[in-house]
Structure formats: structure tokens, C-alpha cells
Structure 1
């Protein structure tokens, strides 16, 4: 009997199209898997079994009537809990939004429903997407399927863990400074941050509005490409949404597996974020092996100086908190969120607001609000926020110069394999862990992480970046490398993860 939880989204879609199974059967298999292992992982904050099965049955009926609405019709999916879903609780993993049932869907959720992808539920994250390990969730941490004593990364550890543990074939995440790509690296999955504006942010609970981007999580490059084909495109409700007509990303991913697909591709290695003592030495060795594989595939590899990338993390941690300070001002007990009355019963607006934010917001959220408010304050705006914006412009110019010399850039996705619990909760460790990811967010360019191999038995990802609108280029290049890595490490990569058995729970 086929275990549909072990198939990729593309394989499930083929089985559905061939009439070998039904969406209801596949969806139930994933719900059963969630029931069996999520008590140990805590990848999900909410599971909507009734809704998912109803959507699956509707997809089956549509297919029987000859009205399958997309290549992924009937394939179940998980959604990060900072993306709003009509009628299904959305908390952004914060106690301040506990019990909130949105009256509308995010644009990407509208796309999922139109394409008839059953939504299994909402996945865990660091509160309001602020963190690097999913330990900052207001509802408890998520564990890594490869090792339950390690974190799955953050902020989107729930989506990455759900995909890695075969609870869902694909998932949606958001990426502000690596929140899709770093968890992908830690869990042996694929994570894609599209070009800023390629996927509408309407309905994504804002953290840093000029940095946030919704994107896919999956176990293969093709699955991510298929999902971006579903969720991408223009949305008039998002003023940053690009009006571009996009080519098929799935076609680009398939083309990457053709012989000689990346022969002559110019691959640039940004010296400032691809070398140095920040990396685990075994990660550096694995990175060098991946460079060799690219050269064996016919790519032309060159090292490139991107001097301002050294300052990207510092600039990001001024710009992002400033936008956090503005975006989270709405959670004041008056306009949005829960309301906490002071213990002494006195309840004017200021006291209720103070009590609510003190009790319902977590420590990392408070830290970033304070940092951002300070950076925006009178007398400091130009020195901090203004200067950081200038650095951002320089980073963008460095990218432009780099892409004049290379078609794609290539780096490790993270500094190490998955960390143990507690190792990414100190601000310095948390913030510097984003070293490889942040530049792409500052510039708004697309970036993808794919599994690059194992270090000490744990997966480590490799990252490609391309110029804005170069998403198809990324899918093609990463699919080519993925195929070479499969020959070296085996596929699907997550099959190497130890099964969640009673003995290691």
C-alpha cells in the first residue's frame, strides 16, 4: 500500500491525475501522520481536519467533473500562522492574538483555495516571526525531526518541520531575514524567498513591511516551483505587488534537470559572506564540495567582493525593529488583540495598554519594539535609521555590481547545522545567525536554500541568490545542483532523517 505522506507534492499530483488515489485519501493520510508525531514535534498550532477533508472532497468532485483547477489541485498544504485564514484561528504565535478568527483570507490563501489545495492547519513560528529557532513562540517551541533535542530554525520552524517530518508535502512561510531559508537548512528541506513583490503580502501579519515576503517550503525544488506558480502574481491590494507576467517556475525547475542545463552559468561567490571564521569548519568543507559539483556541471565559478555585505546585519537590526515598532503599535488592547486589566482594577486606556503589552507580548518582541522606537526617536532618527537606509542602498548597489559579473550568487544557507535548544536565544547569537540570509532581504532579491549535504549527521543548506525577477533562474540552477546532490547523498533528502519512534521521543 502506498504511503502518500512519503511522496513529493509533484508525485501526489501525478497520482491524483492518474486516478490512483483521491485527495480525501491523501489528506487523511497526512492528518493521521500529524496525529501520530506532532505531539512530539509541535509543528502545528491548529489542525483543521474537518475543513481540510471538506476541501479535499471538493477537489475530488471537481476533478471527477473535469475541472481540476491547477497542477496541485487536491495536494494538501500547511500554512504559517502569521498568514491569515478566514474562519481558522490565526495568532502569529503571540498571546496577544489568542483566539482571533480572521474574517478574511490572505491573498495567497485565496490562491490556494481557488487552486483547491486542502489546508491542513496553521504552523508554529517565533512570535510575530521574531526569532531564529521557533523557541520564541508564545505557545511553546517546535522540535527538529532530525533530532528532537535541536531546534528547527526560525522563524518558520513549524512549516519546515512539518514538511521534513512528512506531516505536509508543502507549506507556506514568510521570510523577513531568512525565516524560510534558515529553517530549510536546519531541516533538510527546500525554502524559497521570492523576489520582493512577486507574491502578495496582503494578509501576512506585518513584521517589517519593506522586508517581509511569503514563499514556499517543500522537500524538492520542483515542489517549491509548483507552489510559487500557484501563489504568485499581481494583487491590487498590495501596493508593492509587481504587475509582471511570470514564466512557469515549474518549467524552469524541470529544465534544470536536463543535461548541460547550467553549463556556462556564471556563479559568483560573495567573499564577504561565504568565507571567514563565522562558519563551522565542516560547513565550509561541505560548501567547497558543492562548489566542485557546480563546476562538474559546467558552471563557471568566480569569487566576488561585496564589501557592504559586512554591514548588512547591523543595518537590518536597525531597519527591521523600526518597522516592527510601527507595525506592532496596533496591538494596544483597543484596536487589536486581547485586553488585560491591571491587577488593582484601575482601567484607563494607558494602564490597560501597558498591562496588555507587558503580559501578552514576549521578550524578543518587546526588545525589538524598544530598539525600533529608539531608532526612530527624535534626535536619533538620522544617526540610526537614516544611516541604516544608506547602508541598505549600498548593499543594493553591491548586488547590482555582483550580478553584472555573475548570473547567480552562491553561499551556505546557515553558519552551522541545527543548534540545540537555548543556543539561539541570546540576542547576539540569534542576530548573527542571519549573516548569510539578510542581504537578500535588504535588496529584495530572490534566494533559495536547498539541502547541500550532512554535517555530523545533520542537514546543512546551500543558498542561491539571483537578481530581482530572477526567480526562474534560481529554480533552474538549484534543480541542477539538487540532482547532482541526490546522486551523492540520496533522495528525497529528508528520508535520511531518523523516524520518530518511541525510542527517541
Structure 2
């Protein structure tokens, strides 16, 4: 199956009309993975037998016209639990963990007939921006195998960008869907916090985590998101707005849409060539009838330190469960209970995870809570208010997704502060709980760059409207690694 030349709508049409069977489609997908992935290394587990069995069941049941995902292969980031299929979070700590239940999003996709063909690589416990922190393997950028795919959803982004699957689920805590989408020239969609259940997502930052999609086309994200949104009794942070069609505004004219371009997103540290691409995108939106004006989000400069205090503090709490007692890695030849805890965590966690646990534990400690964690929460409120003030007058915010294109593997992995700053343009969205999307916006030195679109809470429909219009106005979706589609 050539996923560079098809989309979910075409696949559904072929499957529903009997021109293609789900078994044939899944078999072709698995063959593609076996040919492409040894070099890209996007997958950590391929779900061969179960995927084919599920495809047979879909074919036997038949595919109705109102089942857009039935028979369609999907990849799942390996921090989303899958019943009976190893879920590692790309960590030694969970190297052999086989869950006994499915995450809510997996349940919903399975009920819709989608086929889980495998689990994708990530930075360990989703902590990183390059997928180099994986304890399993280093995924390669689909466009240049010497460069990183971004992170933490680097495996999901690379699996789509390299043509192995049409859609993959990712997770976004501080930009972990949008940043790898930008690096790989695909579409990354992060919904409003609370749109999608986090039940069965291995928690990193519970007030920040969101499950979303990586696709080559904007429209391919819609049926997946429409399937996985909605209230879940097992996640008290979810909202009940599942009747909405997030793609309802696709195709509508952009005339009269007011778009904000924050000056802080085009400032120091952002590659001049990326700034030029964003400014060109702004002109395209104006040509389509929108108004684009410069605005200010003054507290943006505080987003990275506030985020890393909040996210690390929540990670410190969430990762307490991995103690060498209940499940997961347990150190050998231990003599005391303290040894079990200390050695299991020391040997089971990688350097970046330990760094964030230590930072979070420090921020939550008695003498420093007010100075760090509480202050970060106050900054978060200021950042949220900045967005609210802009959205009083504008429908959408645009800007670059990342400050630079993808960098070389190994270039920044030993410099955590530089790596953290790579997320400066995506982090504010998570702190405010807003929906956002990265769409391909051109190339710099032969590598893809992304345009980030940000909307107000629960206004995903406007994101899809603007994102699809921008995609239609360009030929970036026709550009593929290694040449033209």
C-alpha cells in the first residue's frame, strides 16, 4: 500500500465497496513496515498476528458507509496501553510489561474497526524532544536518517512520514505531537485538554498530557479525533462534547477570519528562514480572505521554566509507582527493601527521566514549594490570560512550530537546557490547555518546517478549517522523502 498516494477517505471507499479487503490492506501495511522500518526504526513492536486476525473479523462483519476507520491500519505510541500487546514507554523499567486492558482511545478505535498494526518508539516515558532518550532504539527522521525525528512522538511521526501507516496516535505534553510533526513534514494535531480520555495513557504530566494524531493530511486526522473524543467515566478531566464533528467547518471560506501573529514567536532564537516561511504563510492566509495582525503574548518567555517545574513535579509524583515491587523492572541480588527501591529505580530509569524526577522532587520539597512549584502555577495563569486576551479579538493564532529544523542525531542530547528550549513555541499551548495543530509549511535546507495553528478552547473546528485551507493552497503534501509523490 502506497500511503503517499492515498488517504483515509479513499481507503474507506475501497474497503466499503469491496475493491480492497482489510486483510489485504493490513498485509500490505505489514510488508511495508518490514521493508522500511529496519532503517527508520519507528516501531518497537509490530502486532502482526493480532492485526491480521482483527482484519479478518472486520471483513467478515462487513464495512458500512458510516464506519470511516473500519479496516484501516493505525499505529499507537508505546505509552498508550494495549491489552495483550507489550507496552514499554520505551523504558527498561517496562521492557516486558504486557497490559491486561486497553486504553480508552484504543477501545474506541477497536470498536470503530481500526486495526492496531504496532507500537511506536518514543523518548522514555515521553520525556524528550528527539526520541534519543528511548531505551530501545533511536528513530530516524524520515527525510534524513542522520537527523532526529523530534519527540517524544518521534516514532509515530516517522512511521507516517516514511509511508508505513496513514495515521498514528501520539501524545503531547509540551509539544510532543506538533514538534515531531514539524520535523517530519506531517500534520500533528493536539486537542483541547479534556477532549480525549487519558485512561490508559502512562502518565507524565497529568495536567498537561493530551492524546492526538499524526497524519500526512489534515483531513485524515478528523475521523480519528471524532472517534476518540468524549467523556470517560474513568477520567474525571474529560468533557462531554462527543456529539461535535470537529471537521464540520472544513471547506468553509476564510473570509473575515482574524488571525494573530505573536511577535514573541518570531524573536531571538527562531531561525530566520523559518520566520520567512511563517510570514509567507501569513500572506497566504490574507490572500484567502483572512486578516493577519501582530499581537503580543508577553509571558511567553517564562513558559519553558514554568513548564519544566510543573511537568517534572507531576512526573515525580506519577513515576513513584515504578518501585520494583508491583510490576516492571526489579534489580537483582538486592539485600534490603531500600536496595529494591533505590537500585530498581536507578537501573530501570534512564538519565533524562531521573533528571526530571530529581527536579520535580526538589520543586515539591518543603523548603522550595512556594518558590518554585507555586510560582510556576502563577506564571501558568498569566500565560493562559495572555491567550484569553488575544482570543477576545482573534479566531486563530499562528506561528512557527519549532525554532529550527530537525538537528543531527547526537548534537543536543548531552545539553538538556538547549534541548528543553526546542519546545519554547509549543509549551505555552499545553500550559493553557488549548488545541493546536502543526501543518507543513515549506522547507529549510531540504528539511520540513511546520506552521503552528492555535485556537481557543474546544474550537478544534476552526483549526481544521484553517489547516485544510492552508494545505489545499500548497503542494507540501505532495512532497515526500526521496522525491515527489
Shift of the alpha carbon at 1:353? 1.3
1:403 to 387, 391, 398: 391
Note if 1:360 corresponds to 2:352: no
Distance 2:86 2:160 in 1: 21
Shift of the alpha carbon at 1:204? 0.3
User: Residue by residue, what CA displacement relative to the aligned partner does 1:341-386 show, whole Å, maximum 9, x if unpaired?
Assistant: 2xxx442111111111111110000000000000000110000000
Return the TM-score normalized by structure 1: 0.93
Note if 1:190 corresponds to 2:178: no
Determine if contact 1:247/1:472 at 8 Å carries over to the other structure: no
Return the TM-score normalized by structure 2: 0.97
Q: How many residues align?
A: 483
User: Residue by residue, what CA displacement relative to the aligned partner does 1:182-216 show, whole Å, maximum 9, x if unpaired?
Assistant: 00000010000100000100000000000000001
2:269 to 260, 273, 278: 278
The alpha-carbon distance between structure 1 residues 3 and 372, as it changes in their structure 2 partners (threshold 3 A), is closer
Counterpart of 1:503? none
Note if 1:9 corresponds to 2:8: yes
- In structure 2, runs of 5+ residues without a counterpart are none
Residue correspondence of structure 1 range 25-424 to structure 2 within 5 A: 25-63=24-62, 67=64, 70-253=67-250, 255-256=251-252, 261-272=253-264, 274-341=265-332, 345-424=333-412
User: Residue by residue, what CA displacement relative to the aligned partner does 1:296-334 show, whole Å, maximum 9, x if unpaired?
Assistant: 011111111111111111100110000010000111101
Distance 2:334 2:73 in 1: 49
Partner of 1:460, secondary structure, is strand
Shift of the alpha carbon at 1:97? 0.5
The alpha-carbon distance between structure 1 residues 368 and 4, as it changes in their structure 2 partners (threshold 3 A), is closer
Distance 2:397 2:334 in 1: 58
The alpha-carbon distance between structure 1 residues 5 and 268, as it changes in their structure 2 partners (threshold 3 A), is closer
Determine if contact 1:46/1:122 at 8 Å carries over to the other structure: yes
Shift of the alpha carbon at 1:46? 0.1
Shift of the alpha carbon at 1:250? 3.2
Distance 1:192 1:150 in 2: 22
Distance 1:414 1:11 in 2: 32
Counterpart of 1:498? 482
Partner of 2:247, secondary structure, is helix
RMSD: 1.5
Distance 1:407 1:380 in 2: 39
Distance 1:132 1:440 in 2: 16
Counterpart of 2:20? 21
2:470 to 474, 481, 493: 481
Determine if contact 1:152/1:187 at 8 Å carries over to the other structure: yes
Counterpart of 1:502? none
Shift of the alpha carbon at 1:457? 0.9
Distance 1:230 1:15 in 2: 20
